[in-house]
């Protein structure tokens, strides 16, 4: 079986999504690639001078969705309904799924099922042009940042689960440096734009403190 577990019939792992917002998105992606290439993650998360905050949030949301999707894809063989019957981040934190539409009352599901629901839900947001407009100059909705905050809050839960339940497997796959870099980038961006409430970050408090002291 491949490293990414593509032999499984789950939809958890999916093709990489491209950035929204047409040529503007492409320009911002070039900026991201250039600043990330410098190795300065703190600089890479900052809003480029003169750019629209919503455009910046949109392009980065797609990137972080792709990153988490790829990271979790390396674990689909090991994160199963048997090994992870609940979506948890250690003994004190358990996450239940609700999307407010099809599932209004939070339900307890296995970790891989939670991630599958989550990735489907995020993909639906990214594909909805009334939320993530594709056309250059098309307006973002008034609640756009709220949608982004919910996406980031839920993506964080995947990181929390990976670190608490699968870090030893990540180490055995020699993926820990990549995981840590992706998480550092994610947290720096989150803190730069105030996307996740501090209480939601509690499961990885010590790790975050090492990245962003006194966050």
Q: What is the pLDDT of residues 17-57, one digit of tens each?
A: 665 545 556 777 776 766 665 568 888 899 999 989 999 99
The answer to whether the beta carbons of residues 73 and 13 sit under 8 Å apart is yes
Which of these, 135, 22, 11, lies nearest to 73 by C-alpha position? 11
pLDDT level of residue 102 (50, 70, 90 thresholds): confident
- Phi and psi at 88, nearest 5°, equal -130, 165
Residue-level pLDDT at 23: 55
**DSSP line for 60-113:** HHHHHHHHHHHHHHTTTTTS-TTT-SSEESSTT-EE-B--SSS--S-B---HHH
- Residue 5: what pLDDT? 37
Q: How many other C-beta atoms lie within 10 A of the C-beta of residue 84? A: 20
Euclidean distance between CA atoms 60 and 143, whole angstroms: 17
The pLDDT of residue 213? 80
How far, in Å, CA of 7 to CA of 131, rounded? Answer: 33
pLDDT at residue 3, rounded to an integer: 35
**Domain regions of the chain by residue span:** 22-211
pLDDT of residue 20: 54
SS3 144: helix
Alpha-carbon distance 192 to 196, whole Å?
10
d(C-alpha 167, C-alpha 170), whole Å: 5
Out of 1.20.140.30, 3.20.20.450, 1.20.1250.20, 3.40.30.10, select the CATH number for domain 22-211: 1.20.140.30
Mean pLDDT of all residues in 178-195: 95
Between helix 144-172 and helix 176-193 the angle, nearest 10°, is 160
Q: Which two tokens stand for residue 48?
A: 């480029």
Structure tokens, 93 = 């934190």
């Amino acid at each position: 079986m491949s490293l990414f577990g593509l032999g499984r019939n789950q939809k958890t792992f999916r093709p990489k999504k491209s950035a929204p917002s047409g040529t503007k998105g492409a320009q911002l992606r070039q900026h991201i690639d250039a600043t990330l290439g410098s190795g300065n993650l703190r600089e890479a998360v900052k809003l480029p001078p003169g750019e629209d905050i919503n455009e910046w949030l949109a392009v980065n949301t797609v990137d972080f969705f792709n990153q988490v999707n790829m990271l979790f894809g390396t674990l689909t063989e090991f994160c199963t309904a048997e090994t992870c019957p609940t979506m948890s981040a250690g003994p004190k934190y358990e996450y239940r799924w609700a999307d407010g539409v099809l599932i209004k009352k939070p339900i307890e599901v296995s970790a891989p099922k939670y991630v599958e629901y989550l990735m489907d839900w995020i993909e639906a947001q990214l594909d909805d042009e009334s939320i993530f407009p594709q056309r250059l100059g098309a307006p973002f909705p008034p609640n756009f940042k709220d949608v982004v905050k919910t996406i980031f809050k839920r993506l964080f839960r995947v990181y929390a689960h990976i670190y608490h339940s699968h870090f030893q497997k990540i180490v055995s796959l020699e993926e820990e440096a990549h995981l840590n870099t992706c998480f550092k980038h994610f947290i720096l961006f989150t803190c730069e734009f105030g996307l996740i409430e501090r209480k939601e970050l509690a499961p990885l408090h010590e790790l975050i403190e090492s990245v962003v002291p006194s966050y």
